[in-house]
Structure 1
Amino acid sequence: MSDLFASAGLDADVPRPLADRLRPKTLAEVVGQEHLTGPDGSLTRLLRGKSFGSLVFWGPPGTGKTTVARLLAHQTDLHFEQISAIFSGIPDLRKVFDAARKRRATGQGTLLFVDEIHRFNRAQLDAFLPVMEDGTVTLVGATTENPSFELNPALLSRARVLLFHALGDEAIARLIERAETLTGQALPLDAEARGVLVRMADGDGRAVLTLAEEVWRSAAPGEILDAETLQAIIQRRAPIYDKAQEGHYNLISALHKTVRGSDPDAALYYLCRMLDGGEDRLFIARRLVRMAVEDIGLADPQALVVTTAAKDAYDFLGSPEGELALAQATIYLACAPKSNAAYTAYKAATRAAKENGSLPPPRTILNAPTKLMKRMGYGEGYRYDHDEPDAFSGQDYWPEKLGRQHFYAPTDRGMETRYADRLAHWERLRRERKTEI
């Protein structure tokens, strides 16, 4: 075994992981996060001023969050302190904060990197607020979960969230090339197997370097592994598609269009492909909610109820039991009557609001909380609909210069047939009562 390590440039006596040996020394060496670390990246711009506020790094594992935090501390001469929310509690935080205060008294700042920060409870997260406020620490938290749901609003208001992307195939390939340069040995893989190795990493830079080490350990001298042998040795199946790249968008597009096309069988097929490929279940749940409001809308208002309930059911049950709720919601959507009338109306109303955003509403429908406003006619002539026949006054609510507009045109499908009849009835009453006036 030691010969195999030596032939690959790995030290069997000091088994330092390849990922650690390849850790970037500068932000420019970080791969796959050019939107943050490139010449015009967000972090690059912050560092030009030699200072930055507290940050939250949100992204998948193996995308460079810890490395970037270390580099930030180095480039700003801050003491780097790292803790994990999995193993730390309030007593540990007090010790870290006390040490940071002592450092600050000597003129030394502290960058506190908190891995898995979403694992802290609300009380623990609140403990960070005073030391962030007074500058005792510059907090850099790392999380794989959506900060909007997992972190306190008070903490988020004091920190900037930066998104780390899963590494694309090109970035993963560059990491492999760096490993080969460092070790002085090419990976013993044919072209197809090399592509499979990239897919096995699933956007995780640390994972691909760990897999590369396994390949070097496992290959016999002079052996070139093909894709089948690679998967047998590594015992890891390549994901069906890369969640960050084309396959991800292709399959969610296919799912959306088969639901819109009222084909429950095809919709279930694409849903199961996404589940089997490891897609984030809550991403799927969010897309199902979007389908409910975009493609079904008021033709079946229950569609929104069903999809949000499916999301809650998955949250409650987890995998794999909760996946059945997503499947049930998918079938419901595909079988529901379809209407994009609310979606179309929303877009039309948005355009009108942008083009006529400065027009005041009629004074009749404005409240008059002060005497001056009453004298100016605010609320004068307003007719309370519940006091009118049929609980409908028919008065004009539109800005005078804009005139009455029509955005929502219900279809003749599902519940919208009732809305169409109701709107037509109100339009008749509106004309009649306008004539009476």
Structure 2
Amino acid sequence: MADLFDSDPKAAPPAPNRPLADRLRPRSIEQVIGQQQVLGPEAPLGAMLAAGQLGNLIFWGPPGVGKTTIARLLANASDLHFVQISAIFSGVADLKKVFDAARIRVQNGQGTLLFVDEIHRFNKAQQDGFLPYMEDGTILLVGATTENPSFELNAALLSRSQVLVLERLGLADLELMTQRAERELDRALPLTGEAREALQEMADGDGRALLNLIEQVMAWKTDAPLDAEALATRLMRRAAKYDKSGDEHYNLISALHKSVRGSDPDAALYWLARMLEGGEDPRYLARRITRIAIEDIGLADPQAQTLCLHAWEVFERLGSPEGELALAQAVAYLALAPKSNAGYVAYKAARKLARKTGSAPPPKHILNAPTSLMKDQGYGKDYAYDHDAEDGFSGQNYFPEDVKRPVLYSPVERGFERELKKRVEYFARLRSQRDT
């Protein structure tokens, strides 16, 4: 089924039992709602059509934003025979029939636009099967996927195609679609302005879902426009799109992490709520929140890590949904805490130095010498016991003898690390004095 729709006033009146989504199907590229970033005159598809040079394409975007519709309209605009298959229901035998029929069309002077829905469902070997037919012009491939092509499609297929990102429809697009539906049905939605906006929000950027909701609302018998509360009692809100193992999972945890790092508690709480509403495992979030405390707050606020661990423990004791409040409070605290990644940077630098220096041994003066043989080898010789030194600091070298002393940890002038910075500088001065 097509994803975005409009009606042609010159067309024959549609059958009354046809779904609204089908009745409002666009009949030209100009009638498509939204996606101007790919369809506009200066955008990739607009430029291709103007030049008459359409290439192989991969449409990447969420459901209901126009992938199928645009592919069909491209075929019409390019005078290509349109063939649609789904990778969910098609196998090698089906593909062979499609390719054989396309070869016959080429011999008769007509090309084929093959639209493959959910193309990421084909395995790598099946994806390779498209390549020779794409290269010799037997087919023009337009694939559609809701998954990141970088991970789900093989390099050979991607190198022969242009990936175009289709975006979820905004509220302005959904309002335009609502107005077209009202014109098609020749009456206004029986909703107040607030309820109308609530209905569009329920569609969650999916044009097809919106038209299905509109059909339901238009079938109701009402004496007066319904408000948002009455609408909510009659319609169940569409579940937000959230794949706990796919791109959305990583996109939202990235948004949460960066909102905390950016000291924005409102945004951080929003993304936390989005993930919990989508069914994310709160234990995963507890672990990631603790990781954020270590990576982005660090010793600027040593309490942050402890608070996260306590929030995690509270969740384990209370469970959902009560325990989720502890995670929310931890997120708000982290967002407002002083930030420092000095410890994180220092640890990465230490790992890098450790790999570079290989198995360089510690200096012998800091090694224990429990046997006479080890004493004879110089183990523990001239070790200075720091508690006996002036200021409780000996200033000895603790790095391997052939490793030049680096500076790995550089505290920032924020939070508790401001005090740690003073200590680092204090010991650096003492060490310099001991060296001279």
TM-score band (shorter)? 0.5 to 0.7
- Give the match for residue 275 of structure 1: 275
Which region of structure 1 is more displaced relative to structure 2, 69-78 or 122-131? 122-131
Letter paired with 1:166: R
Which of the numbers 124, 146, 166 marks the counterpart of 2:126? 124
Q: Does the 8 Å CA contact 1:173/1:198 hold for their aligned counterparts?
A: yes
Q: CA RMSD in A?
A: 5.4
| Offset of residue 410 of structure 1 | 4.2
- Give the match for residue 77 of structure 1: 79
| Offset of residue 153 of structure 1 | 2.3
Q: Secondary structure at the match of 1:48?
A: helix
Q: Does the 8 Å CA contact 2:257/2:292 hold for their aligned counterparts?
A: no
Is 1:111 equivalent to 2:113 in the alignment? Answer: yes
User: Are the structure 2 counterparts of residues 270 and 197 from structure 1 closer, same or farther at C-alpha, using a change threshold of 3 Å?
Assistant: closer
Distance in structure 1 (CA, Å) of the matches to 2:253 and 2:362: 53
Which of the numbers 157, 160, 180 marks the counterpart of 1:158? 160
User: Are the structure 2 counterparts of residues 81 and 262 from structure 1 closer, same or farther at C-alpha, using a change threshold of 3 Å?
Assistant: closer
| Offset of residue 340 of structure 1 | 3.6
Distance in structure 1 (CA, Å) of the matches to 2:201 and 2:158: 34
| Offset of residue 213 of structure 1 | 1.0
- Give the match for residue 231 of structure 1: 232
Instruction: Point out where structure 1 has 5 or more consecutive residues left out of the alignment.
Output: 1-10, 243-248, 304-320, 347-382, 398-405
Q: Does the 8 Å CA contact 1:79/1:110 hold for their aligned counterparts?
A: yes
| Offset of residue 150 of structure 1 | 1.8
Q: Does the 8 Å CA contact 1:111/1:139 hold for their aligned counterparts?
A: yes
| Offset of residue 111 of structure 1 | 0.8
Distance in structure 1 (CA, Å) of the matches to 2:64 and 2:81: 23
Q: Does the 8 Å CA contact 1:268/1:327 hold for their aligned counterparts?
A: no
| Offset of residue 91 of structure 1 | 0.7
Distance in structure 2 (CA, Å) of the matches to 1:32 and 1:289: 40
Q: Does the 8 Å CA contact 2:117/2:143 hold for their aligned counterparts?
A: yes
In the TM superposition, what whole-angstrom CA distance separates every residue of 1:326-355 from its partner, at most 9, and x where no partner exists? 999999988999754469989xxxxxxxxx
Distance in structure 2 (CA, Å) of the matches to 1:29 and 1:159: 25
- Give the match for residue 204 of structure 1: 206
| Offset of residue 22 of structure 1 | 1.2
| Offset of residue 101 of structure 1 | 1.4
Distance in structure 2 (CA, Å) of the matches to 1:394 and 1:423: 21
- Give the match for residue 52 of structure 1: 54
| Offset of residue 228 of structure 1 | 2.4
| Offset of residue 232 of structure 1 | 2.6
- Give the match for residue 89 of structure 2: 87
Distance in structure 2 (CA, Å) of the matches to 1:298 and 1:94: 62
Distance in structure 1 (CA, Å) of the matches to 2:99 and 2:409: 57
Distance in structure 2 (CA, Å) of the matches to 1:76 and 1:423: 71
Letter paired with 1:295: D
Q: Does the 8 Å CA contact 2:299/2:343 hold for their aligned counterparts?
A: no
Q: Does the 8 Å CA contact 2:181/2:211 hold for their aligned counterparts?
A: yes
Q: Secondary structure at the match of 1:80?
A: strand
Q: Does the 8 Å CA contact 2:268/2:332 hold for their aligned counterparts?
A: no
Distance in structure 2 (CA, Å) of the matches to 1:135 and 1:95: 16
Distance in structure 2 (CA, Å) of the matches to 1:209 and 1:424: 69
Is 1:18 equivalent to 2:20 in the alignment? Answer: yes
Q: Does the 8 Å CA contact 2:58/2:161 hold for their aligned counterparts?
A: yes
Which of the numbers 29, 34, 37 marks the counterpart of 1:35? 37
Which of the numbers 174, 177, 182 marks the counterpart of 2:179? 177
User: Are the structure 2 counterparts of residues 210 and 262 from structure 1 closer, same or farther at C-alpha, using a change threshold of 3 Å?
Assistant: closer
- Give the match for residue 138 of structure 2: 136
Distance in structure 1 (CA, Å) of the matches to 2:290 and 2:120: 25
| Offset of residue 81 of structure 1 | 0.6
User: Are the structure 2 counterparts of residues 329 and 15 from structure 1 closer, same or farther at C-alpha, using a change threshold of 3 Å?
Assistant: same
Q: Does the 8 Å CA contact 2:118/2:146 hold for their aligned counterparts?
A: yes
Distance in structure 2 (CA, Å) of the matches to 1:427 and 1:155: 61
Letter paired with 2:40: G
TM-score by length of 1: 0.62
TM-score by length of 2: 0.63
Give the fraction of aligned pairs with identical amino acids, expressed as a percent.
44
Q: Secondary structure at the match of 1:237?
A: coil
| Offset of residue 394 of structure 1 | 6.2
Distance in structure 1 (CA, Å) of the matches to 2:290 and 2:40: 35
| Offset of residue 121 of structure 1 | 2.1
User: Are the structure 2 counterparts of residues 196 and 270 from structure 1 closer, same or farther at C-alpha, using a change threshold of 3 Å?
Assistant: closer
Is 1:64 equivalent to 2:66 in the alignment? Answer: yes
Q: Does the 8 Å CA contact 2:252/2:275 hold for their aligned counterparts?
A: no
Instruction: Point out where structure 2 has 5 or more consecutive residues left out of the alignment.
Output: 1-12, 243-250, 306-318, 347-356, 364-398
Q: Does the 8 Å CA contact 1:58/1:146 hold for their aligned counterparts?
A: yes
| Offset of residue 57 of structure 1 | 0.6
User: Are the structure 2 counterparts of residues 341 and 100 from structure 1 closer, same or farther at C-alpha, using a change threshold of 3 Å?
Assistant: same
Distance in structure 1 (CA, Å) of the matches to 2:254 and 2:358: 47
